[in-house]
Amino acid sequence: MIKMVFCVKRKPSISETDFYNYWLDMHGPLVSSKVEDLGIKRYVQSHTKRADLGNTASSGRGMKQAVFDGLAEIWWDSFEHLETVLATEPGQIAGAILAEDEARFIDMEASTIFFTEEHEVVAPD
């Protein structure tokens, strides 16, 4: 499995409450409706809580305090699978629809995306 991690910063013109409500209640169902077209295996939103605690942990390690409002994680079977679905017409249309919606509430210049392969180090019993 591979995962896309989307570190999200809200547009400054949108309140925190409106941002989280839109992301969860409007964008979330939109992503769910595109699962088949995009071959998505799992989608999770993580909404930032206690930014003050995150800032303290970051500054204690000498990190800059670029706080994200949350992150989205999307899983696929493999990079090959992702590339295959993105090459299809339904995949391209679905990707464009999601990107258009994201531009409504996400500050794209302050956000970032990267891809990972997980290595579980501590597992639940």
Residues with Cβ within 8 Å of 121's Cβ and at least 6 positions away in sequence, in order, are none
The answer to whether residue 26 sits within a structural domain is yes
The answer to whether residue 70 sits within a structural domain is no
The tally of domains found in the chain comes to 1
Q: Using one digit for the tens of pLDDT, what is the confidence trace for 101-113?
A: 999 999 999 999 9
Q: Using one digit for the tens of pLDDT, what is the confidence trace for 32-57?
A: 999 999 999 999 999 988 667 666 66
Task: State the residue range of the domain holding 18.
Answer: 11-48+88-118
The answer to whether residue 5 sits within a structural domain is no
The two most distant CA atoms of the chain are separated, in Å, by 47
**Can you tell me the distance from the alpha carbon of 116 to that of 4, in angstroms, rounded to the nearest whole number?**
6
Closest CA to 95 of 12, 17, 2, 6: 6
